[in-house]
Structure 1
Amino acid sequence: MELIYNEQNNFKILQLTDLHIGSKPHHEDDLKTFQLIEDAFSKLNPDLAIITGDLIWSDGVPQSDVIFKELLERFNKYDVPVAITYGNHDSEDEFSRGEIRALEKYLKNAVTKNHSFIVEDRECYAIEVYDRNDSKALKHVLYVMDSGADAPLPVGNYEWIHPEQVNWYRRTAAHYAKYNLKNNAIFMHIPIPEYKEASKSILSGECNETNDTISAPYINTGLFANAFIQGDVKAFFAGHDHDNNFVGEHHGIRLIYGQVGGYQCYGDLERGARIITLQDESIETHTLTASQFSYEFSK
């Protein structure tokens, strides 16, 4: 599946995150989340949807594979390419990461995963976006990285990007270096530790988490440092912290949260989505609440 710039000569990404669909029969909050998903796909007219983790609740949820497949069917209603990475709640009980990835075969419009790499059952892959008028002119690379779940050692609460994933980024970025791209992005679920620094330099949005202000891992394996040195990444996008939706900046790279989408989970922020517009020289982004979707489409 080739992804190309649209007629407006840009590329529009819908980021949905933390949907947290639960068991059947569905709670009324799940039905509201389904409506949000349908409105986002149908009204916002994206060129690509990226789901950055915690699609479902899996802990203690019977037949969570059925729940996940039903969610994929919601995505399949629309002619929109879809990319997925997973969060800490997607494979807690019945599922392994590999088993949930295997169900992606039911996704009708799954993106092409370039340079797919799996370590400790966590997948990284690259998405390529091309010029509208020249199928050989690569415009952007979107690195999608599974950030794991719980900390494997008694240090903090959440898992860190595996060192082999950092090495994968270095190899993959080196492969694309010949294109001299400076406007790429990285997508994951759990924010990297540098989000704490970015929270000191917020350009827009809110930072309202009250447990850990930034629920990042306590171990830093160097992904941000390598992206800074490589110079090809302009922004990181994460989910996980439902009461954070800010755009922050650290050493010239923006570190950005999505907008929580699921109604059956904690958080005081209004449910919604993030829109990301890739252009030749910039990445523009803003959040929308569900009540704003129709307005955005009418502009």
Structure 2
Amino acid sequence: MQLKYRPDGTFRIIQFTDTHIGNMPFHEEDERTFKLIEDALAYFDVDLIIHTGDIIWSEGVKDADIVFEKTMEYFDKAKIPMAITFGNHDTEEIITRSDLRRIFDQKVEVKAEKTHSMIVNDREAYCLEIFHSDKDQVAHAIYLIDSGAAAPLDIGTYDWVLPQQVAWFSETSANYRRGDRHKRHLVFQHIPLPEYWQAATKIIDGVNHETNDAISAPYINTGLFANMVIDGETWGMFVGHDHDNDFEGVYHDIHLVYGNVSGYQTYGAEERGVRIIELKEDDQSIKTYRVKANVFSR
């Protein structure tokens, strides 16, 4: 399904992250998460749903494939284009990323149209294109990058963006570059980049309340952020992963943003909710804000 600005020149994205749906029969906290999904999608008039991973628990979860499928049904009922990437908890045991992609492709009726898809080590990177309202020209490129799970070497805890994915971003972003250095493109993944440490010292909204590592980023830096800066037209990145962080910080004129944890059956003291990203066509401006569930719950 093609994504396009509305005739009034607006486009709105809703980001869910870290829903962490577990075993069936579903826990009462999972039922609360399903209600949050339904309430948010009924309350906000959005054009695109993006989930940035840890959609489900998979370790020790029987029939994780069915759990994933049933979780997707709650999003698909809204009939709004959806795109996803995965986190470190989605494929911990038998189920694989390719299994989940297949289920998503087969069972979700309203999917955003992918371009430039690349899969390496069963991790997909791809683009979405948002078009202008009155012409067949891309206004924004949305990059979704699977940031992996556990560190493959005994260096830190979490995986890093693969060098092949960094090269993919560098090559793919060239297709959308206009040379005007206007910040218009967005990146979504699950695990934060190491540069989120610097962004945490330059917060313009939100909180950095994580009590383990303040930023659970990989210890290896493979250069994605540098390529975002060099591109010159990337506005920022949206991640999940750290449930007690939901801030927006700015580092080297790149916005580094956390989604609001959306799932109840997982750790974290922050109130559950979603993040909204609003795009305006007339000036190509971008703004984002977090909304807690008590605002939109029915």
Same fold (TM over 0.5): yes
**Aligned-residue offset at 1:281:** 2.8
Q: Rate the CA distance shift 1:282–1:151 in 2: closer, same or farther, 3 A.
A: same
CA distance in 2, matches of 1:193, 1:7: 39
CA distance in 1, matches of 2:68, 2:178: 39
For 1:285, the equivalent position in structure 2 comes to: 288
Paired amino acid for 2:255: R
The alignment-based identity, stated in percent, is: 48
For 1:261, the equivalent position in structure 2 comes to: 262
Q: Secondary structure at the match of 1:175?
A: coil
Q: Rate the CA distance shift 1:36–1:7 in 2: closer, same or farther, 3 A.
A: farther
Paired amino acid for 2:101: R
Q: Secondary structure at the match of 1:261?
A: coil
Q: Do the aligned partners of 1:16 and 1:258 also contact (CA within 8 Å) in 2?
A: yes
For 1:203, the equivalent position in structure 2 comes to: 204
Runs of 4+ in structure 1 deviating by more than 6 angstroms, as ranges, are none
Paired amino acid for 1:182: K
**Aligned-residue offset at 1:137:** 2.0
Residues 98-113 of structure 1: matches in 2 within 5 Å? 98-104=98-104, 105-113=106-114
Residues 115-154 of structure 1: matches in 2 within 5 Å? 115-134=116-135, 136-154=136-154
Unaligned runs of 5+ in 2: none
Residues 192-271 of structure 1: matches in 2 within 5 Å? 192-271=193-272
CA distance in 2, matches of 1:113, 1:57: 26
CA distance in 2, matches of 1:233, 1:175: 13
**Aligned-residue offset at 1:8:** 3.4
Q: Secondary structure at the match of 1:236?
A: strand
Aligned alpha-carbon RMSD (Å): 1.3
Paired amino acid for 2:56: I
Paired amino acid for 2:232: G
Offset from partner CA, 1:32-66 (integer Å, 9 cap, x none): 00000001111111100000000000001010000
**Aligned-residue offset at 1:177:** 2.0
Q: Do the aligned partners of 2:36 and 2:297 also contact (CA within 8 Å) in 1?
A: no
For 2:87, the equivalent position in structure 1 comes to: 87
Q: Scaled by the length of structure 2, what TM-score is found?
A: 0.96
Q: Do the aligned partners of 1:272 and 1:290 also contact (CA within 8 Å) in 2?
A: yes
For 1:19, the equivalent position in structure 2 comes to: 19
CA distance in 1, matches of 2:291, 2:237: 18
CA distance in 2, matches of 1:294, 1:22: 22
Q: Scaled by the length of structure 1, what TM-score is found?
A: 0.96
Q: Secondary structure at the match of 2:256?
A: strand
For 2:164, the equivalent position in structure 1 comes to: 164
Offset from partner CA, 1:117-139 (integer Å, 9 cap, x none): 011110000000011122x1211
For 1:69, the equivalent position in structure 2 comes to: 69
Q: Do the aligned partners of 1:15 and 1:50 also contact (CA within 8 Å) in 2?
A: yes
For 1:4, the equivalent position in structure 2 comes to: 4
**Aligned-residue offset at 1:206:** 0.2
Select between 177-186 and 65-74 the one with higher mean Cα deviation.
177-186
For 2:35, the equivalent position in structure 1 comes to: 35
Q: Do the aligned partners of 1:138 and 1:179 also contact (CA within 8 Å) in 2?
A: no
Offset from partner CA, 1:226-274 (integer Å, 9 cap, x none): 1101112011000000000000010011100000000000000000000
Paired amino acid for 1:123: E
CA distance in 2, matches of 1:178, 1:241: 34
CA distance in 1, matches of 2:116, 2:128: 9
CA distance in 2, matches of 1:66, 1:188: 24
Unaligned runs of 5+ in 1: none
Offset from partner CA, 1:80-135 (integer Å, 9 cap, x none): 0000000000000121111111111211111111000011110000000011122x
Paired amino acid for 1:270: E
Paired amino acid for 2:290: T
CA distance in 2, matches of 1:159, 1:55: 18
Paired amino acid for 2:271: E
CA distance in 2, matches of 1:288, 1:8: 23
**Aligned-residue offset at 1:293:** 1.9
Q: Do the aligned partners of 1:53 and 1:189 also contact (CA within 8 Å) in 2?
A: yes
Q: How many residue pairs are counted as aligned between the two chains?
A: 294
